[in-house]
A and B are shown apart, each in its own frame.
Chain A
């Protein structure tokens, strides 16, 4: 038996190899204790399916999204131009990422700075694998028959119109998908977008993630599925705040698929 492989672009280039797809891990996927598990789950799926992929590893840097949303265009462009230089040097054609913020930035904002790639979110990638029969699910495993709700992240949904791919992935698990009062185009933000992840909220009567968590709990779902590292943090904090962590779990889509595959 072999171990899981995580090739870097540098290693592949040294062997004159070019992967089909670059897995853009993102800062949360690299450093956030909780989200590292999502990165690992996704890498395991890629290994299992035999996708030709590589990561940038230490050569990756923040896309610059939070700097741009906080108004610091210089810093954003410094990050973006440096990343584009690296990706163009490796002749990257296709990028997959588990972070909707990275997804949006690389897909929509890098072209103006000379970075043109086919960019897809991991929910779309997983859906393709399922549709192509490359990922065969065991019928839900621990999720079978459970009520699960999906929280739309703004940068996937409204920002880029991806609403159905994550839902198709969840449905493939043979679970009962229940929708929150506000979903799809009307989905409520978790509160972390626009660089809010990196500062305390302005004074108000409630935190946004609490409002959203209440909506999720109102569905009676036993798990909340997300497709974004910031949403994962915000919803997990919300569940803790409501003392529901023993009853309701928050998962990323890749984790749910990996669990079902038994990896």
Chain B
């Protein structure tokens, strides 16, 4: 037997591994363009969040139909990858169905389970294509999903369908060949789903069948490796990043805005309050708030790369629902696209962050961030705990404190608060007037 297929397999595996390693480095560097932030507290709760929200898909089940279809693809992905282990070993060792003799009757059961899942994935992907392209579910028709985003989503679904067909074709031809007594192929028990495909191939000659079977095998394994590389260029990264993303969830109450200690220092000085560390030289004062991705936390950028653009955030956003420009999904896509742009520029020896562009201004407009009611509907809606609100509020801080560019009515509100300690223009001495009436009333 020729060793050539084995060499070819090793080569393919090596190339895919090399490209993947490069891509992972690129993504990691881009995510770490964000500012350092430590989120290693409450490890027990973090594991819990990851197990429930990422592995258990807890938040997906707020919408039952897509949750069910998504769960089929997800379980299919996890379980069929067990078969990939056999594929890889077969490829390296030049064997065929390495596990069949070991597992005996159980092997047929396992292959039947894989086939069932392959069909389930196939059906779900078709349903998802229909939801996107025929039913045109509203959250898939928003402006930010035009162009590459829409193509990316459809490509993933089509690739998955083709890969599933490859498995079924491989099993169908494999069993016809086994039935014809070809020594290389093992007769398994009946395979329910692929047997429906057998009539398509039964009329073919043995060499033709071997060619098809081998093609399907190579196509499937090479396809999976190619898909793994493709994922790193795609919104589909969520299949991996959902796990760290949920581990690094914000575990504080959603209403809490992160404090800015660098401001506290100055406020205490202005109010004549002794600070705890007065002698400590101020750390390198960066910008107040966020103008570009390096002003955000690395967790914000991780959030952006984890986003699969499902649009549940946008479909729950009160501003977006009422026709404002703000779309939380677009905020996440913009952060990712800007990180990609900066990363590519750095790799090409370009100026990176100093390219004269910035997240706020070139990607996200003030009109968008000003429309946010900070209601946390987007945060609540995200199936993997992405926090678009944190990014919006950091950008508002930049606009207010570095540009003094908040809307005029907010500036009036600031003035009122500075002069009369209320967002409205009332005299502070009138603050207690409400009590006069009630103090005169007889208690019943």
A residues in contact (CB < 8 Å) with B: 1-6, 8, 25, 27, 29-31, 36, 39-40, 43-44, 47-48, 55, 57-58, 60-62, 64, 66-75, 77-79, 81-82, 85, 104, 107-109, 112-113, 154-155, 158-161, 185-186, 188-189, 191-208, 210-212, 262-263
Contacts and interface: CB of A to CB of B under 8 A. Distances in A.
13 contacts: A4-B443, A6-B438, A25-B434, A40-B437, A61-B421, A78-B271, A186-B380, A195-B410, A200-B409, A202-B371, A203-B367, A206-B322, A263-B444
Contact of A71 (B375, B393, B426, B428): B393
Nearest to B408: A199
A74 B431 contact: no
Interface of B: 62, 252-257, 259-260, 263-264, 266-268, 270-271, 273, 288-289, 316, 318-319, 321-326, 367, 370-377, 379-380, 393, 396-401, 406-407, 409-410, 412-414, 417-418, 421-424, 426, 428-435, 437-444
A113 B260 CA distance: 10
A188 B318 contact: yes
Contact of B424 (A27, A155, A201, A206): A27
B393 to A, nearest CB: 7
Nearest to A194: B374
A2 B401 contact: no
B373 A194 contact: yes
Contacts of B322: 191, 201, 204-208, 210-211
B359 to A, nearest CB: 15
A13 B180 CA distance: 99
Given A66-B423, A159-B254, A189-B377, A199 B417 contact: no
Contacts of B423: 27, 62, 66-67, 197-198
- Specify which of B319, B375, B421 lies most central, judged by the most chain A CB atoms within 10 Å of its CB: B375
B387 to A, nearest CB: 12
A31 to B, nearest CB: 5
A70 B324 contact: no
Given A31-B431, A159-B376, A204-B319, A69 B422 contact: no
- Specify which of A107, A194, A200, A262 lies most central, judged by the most chain B CB atoms within 10 Å of its CB: A194
A75 B321 CA distance: 31
B439 A69 contact: no
Given A58-B428, A199-B410, A208-B318, A73 B441 contact: no
Nearest to B397: A71
B267 A81 contact: yes
Given A81-B273, A158-B376, A198-B413, A48 B443 contact: yes
A202 B370 contact: yes
Contacts of A25: 434
A105 B78 CA distance: 43
Nearest to A68: B257
B375 A64 contact: no
Contacts of A8: 432
A31 B440 CA distance: 19
A192 B409 contact: no
Given A75-B418, A159-B253, A3 B375 contact: no
Given A1-B443, A154-B375, A159-B253, A75 B417 contact: yes
A3 B373 contact: no
A23 to B, nearest CB: 11
B331 to A, nearest CB: 14
B392 to A, nearest CB: 9
Contacts of B318: 188-189, 191, 208, 211-212
B434 A29 contact: yes
B428 A61 contact: yes
B428 A4 contact: no
Contacts of A75: 414, 417-418
Contacts of A186: 62, 316, 377, 380
Q: List the 9 closest pairs (A to B, CB-CB), nearest first.
A: A159-B255, A71-B400, A194-B374, A205-B323, A71-B396, A204-B323, A61-B421, A189-B375, A199-B409
A202 B439 contact: no
Given A194-B375, A202-B325, A31 B426 contact: yes
A72 B373 contact: no
A45 to B, nearest CB: 11
